[in-house]
Amino acid sequence: MKKELNKTKSVFVKKSKMSLAKSTTALTCLIGSLIIYSNSGLALSTSGSMAVATSIAATCTISASSMTFGPYTGAEISATSDITVDCTNGSTYSISLSENANSTPQYWLYKGGTVSANATNQLGVIFTHAQGTMVGATVALTGTGIGSSTIVGAITGTIAASQAGKAAGNFTRTMTLNLAY
């Protein structure tokens, strides 16, 4: 009986070891699968692309200082106005006067600023810029913007001598500058 008991015990131990081995193997496989599955989710990657774009519109502004002459006494007088432009960096521009000359190359300043056909109420002025080039309705100044406000030149107005017979009073005119860009 002792022999039989040992034999049963031996079979039981073998079966237990086999069961344990099978359980351990199954558990090891399950844990291994989970590790592989979870790691495989982290280890995969892919890539794609994203288009990115914008634009910068060319913009420009222009201003000019006042051109104020001293009193006209019959002698030639001159006054200057600085032209300031602020254009987007790299934007090319050109500047001209909006109006055509009243009597080439002269523009009229009018007594009291009111347009008049009466010659006594007109005083002729000629506009020039660098090196005496006439300024008119054709392009006078050109340049390229630098992205900040800068003086790009000056326009000089000259009232010729001996414009006799003019009425007393203030002679004015607002000149419009064209800035094309």
For residue 120, give both structure tokens: 């006594």
Is the pLDDT score of 49 beyond 70? yes
- Residue 52 domain-assigned? no
Q: With CA atoms as reference, report the closest residue to 107 among 85, 83, 134, 81.
A: 134
pLDDT of res. 43: 77
Helix (H, G, I), strand (E, B) or coil at 175: coil
* Burial (0-12, 13-18, 19+ Cβ within 10 Å), 95: buried
Query: Do 82 and 108 belong to one domain?
Result: yes
Query: Binning pLDDT at 50, 70 and 90, where does residue 54 land?
Result: very high
For residue range 112-153, list pLDDT tens digits in order: 999 999 999 999 999 998 867 888 888 778 999 999 999 999
- Residue 136 domain-assigned? yes
Query: Do 27 and 78 belong to one domain?
Result: no
129 vs 7 pLDDT, higher one: 129
Query: Do 23 and 108 belong to one domain?
Result: no
For residue range 66-83, list pLDDT tens digits in order: 999 999 999 999 999 999
Mean pLDDT of 94-110: 92
Is the pLDDT score of 15 beyond 70? no
Query: Do 97 and 148 belong to one domain?
Result: yes
Average pLDDT of the chain is: 85
Structural domain boundaries, residue 13:
1-45
* CA-atom Rg of the chain in angstroms: 47
86 vs 24 pLDDT, higher one: 86
Query: Do 149 and 73 belong to one domain?
Result: yes
Query: Do 13 and 100 belong to one domain?
Result: no
